[in-house]
Every structure is written in C-alpha cells, then in structure tokens.
Amino acid sequence: MRRCCQGVGLPCLFKGVGMAGTRPPRFLLVFDFDETIVDENSDDSVARGRALPEELRQSPRGGSYNEHMRRVLAFLGEQGVRPAELRAVYENIPLSPGMAELFQLLSKHQELFELVLISDANTFGVEAKLRAAGVRSLFRKVFSNPAGFDRRGVLTLGPYHSHKCPRCPANMCKRKILGEYLAERAREDVEFQRVFYVGDGANDFCPAGTLREADVAFPRKGYPMHRLIQESQEKQPGAFPAAVVPWESAAEVARYLQELLRRKC
C-alpha cells in the first residue's frame, strides 16, 4: 500500500489531483537571476573588457549600486556601445550548472509550478537572456529594475521601487515584492501550498526569511544567501523556519522537486 506524503512528514502535494472538476495544486518557484539562473553577475559581464574611467571601475562602497550601474551604462552608450551589442552580451552569459536540466523539468510540469523572477539586474538584460535560453514563457512575472534605450541608443536604468527595509538596497526589496505578489495572487484565489526560493545573494536572504515551515529555500552553496542563513541558524535556532537545501548545480534542485512529485498520495 502506498504511503501518503504525510506519512513521511510532508503535506500531501497531490490531494485532489485527478478528481473531476478540480485543478492540480500549485506551487510558487521564485528565482533570482545573477549567479543563480546565469553563472555570472550580468553587470560584470557588460563591463568586462571595457575601458572604464577610474571612478566607474569599482563598485561603490556605501553608495547606490543601481545609480553606479546607471552611470556605467550611460558611459558605455556615450562610447558608442549599441543596443545590439549589449543584447548579445546578455544573451551569451552562460547558464549556471544544471539550470537547463531544472528548466526542462519545470517545462514538463507547468500545471504544478508557477514561476516568477525577482532580480536587481535590469529588465532588458533579464528578458534578453530568458528569451535566448528559450525559457521566457515559463515565467509568469519578471520583477527587475526598469531599463530601456533612449533616443541616443543609451540603455537607461531606473530603480524598481522605494521601500523602508533597512537590510536591502534603496532601489529594491525582494521581500516586499514577494509579499505583494503573494497578496495579489491570494486576491485572485490562488493560494500556494508551498513556495520554493532559488537564489544566491544577500538580497535573497531578506525574502527567504518570510518562508514558512512548508517552504524550501535553495541557496547557492557558499554564496552570501547560504552564509547568512547559516549564521541566522547558529545565532537563533529556529529563526529561519523553512527547509534549506543548498545547491552547487541546479540539477540538485531538480532532483529535490522530482522527489516531491514522486511522492504522490
């Protein structure tokens, strides 16, 4: 006799599946972009090999990184770097190890997983890469800093929003974005049984802190998000309620999700 998921300490993932008139349960899978979906920081990719002036070579300490990148992109545009060249840079950033395998799994189970992307990069670069990788249609929403070309062909960059979170950069709090998205979907009568969060950076630790016991954080192993989770668990056991599954290859995330899907009641 098959054991129910609850028999191994998991909520039933497939309650109601196959019953007439019911819809499969839905799970929210949240992705970061830089050093998560792609294996580099896309801002570094754009600046690599460029003859930047001294004041633009180093990231600001204590200043706004969003404003810094605004100046970098403006300088590149003034130096004649055209939209097609920038698009090619973003399109050619390599995916992180195992990410293609994870997307293949998710493409087969689109009725179960809803995907959103929350990134402190920019909409132009994120959209360009997702389309080049053939996975843009998997994402219901992309949240990133607004970017577009002005009449001169210069890629302009803006802040995503304002917020009062003391932990996050002034232009974006991913915790606020995720909270507002969940509230929006709840108003649309979509309640997710579980939220899965795949990220790497310190700004991913903030939203991951809102995850519940049933949810799962997938921090990239050895990166800031992972270290901050470890530190929080050491300082106050139980302060980070979600399950934590570090990864070096996104194939590990895929295998974890496959195992959950295998445990049908």
3-state SS string for 76-141: HHHCCCCHHHHHHHHHCCCECCCHHHHHHHHHHCCCCEEEEEECCCCHHHHHHHHHHCCCHHHEEE
Selecting among 32, 150, 189, 215, the annotated active-site residue is 32
Q: Which of 27, 7, 36, 8 is nearest to 212 (CA)?
A: 27
Residues tagged in the binding site annotation for substrate: 43, 120
**Spatial contact of 216 and 243, defined as CB atoms under 8 Å apart:** yes
Residue count of the chain? 265
**Other Cβ atoms within 10 Å of 53 Cβ, number:** 9
> Would you report the helix, strand and coil content of the chain in percent, each value rounded to 5?
40, 15, 45
Report the C-alpha gap between 121 and 23 in whole angstroms: 35
Residues tagged in the binding site annotation for Mg(2+): 32, 34, 200
Residues tagged in the binding site annotation: 32, 34, 43, 120, 200
Q: Which amino acid is at 102?
A: L
Helices (H), 122-249: 123-132, 174-187, 202-208, 224-235
The three-class DSSP label of residue 221 is: coil
Report the C-alpha gap between 29 and 26 in whole angstroms: 10
**Spatial contact of 219 and 225, defined as CB atoms under 8 Å apart:** yes
44 counts as catalytic? no
Selecting among 34, 39, 44, 150, the annotated active-site residue is 34
| Sign of torsion over alpha carbons 162, 182, 246, 120 | negative
Q: Indicate which residues carry an active-site annotation.
A: 32, 34
